[in-house]
Amino acid sequence: MVPAIKSSGFFSQHCTGENWILIGDAAGQVNPIKADGIYYAIKSGKLAAEACIKNDLPSYDFMWRKTYGKLLSKHTHYNEGCWGTWRANGKSNYQDN
């Protein structure tokens, strides 16, 4: 199973701090609908490198959100609706038949 964020509110949290940066799936940057994360891992690595070169780690949060954050948040929101419908029908996880 591909790890993915189940609440779109997660994306309002910071992915940087003093002397640290989270990228790719460590930052929850996985598309829950398409179940892919390689693109986001590579792209976030490049954006993190840019922030490091500029010596401005907080700019990474702005850059990844501007580049693909809205898409991930939107897909997570759609996925929340799918999971909510699935749970309402008595299903609680993938193992349910």
Band of pLDDT at residue 47, cut at 50, 70 and 90:
very high
Report CA 59 to chain centroid distance, whole Å. 17
Per-residue pLDDT of 14-46, as tens digits, reads 889 999 999 988 888 888 777 778 998 999 999
93/11 Cα distance (integer angstroms): 23
The pLDDT score that the predictor gives to residue 87 is 45
Band of pLDDT at residue 7, cut at 50, 70 and 90:
low
The pLDDT score that the predictor gives to residue 28 is 83
* The two structure tokens encoding residue 86: 């699935």
Task: Name, of 1-5, 11-15, 62-66, 76-80, the range with top average pLDDT.
Answer: 62-66
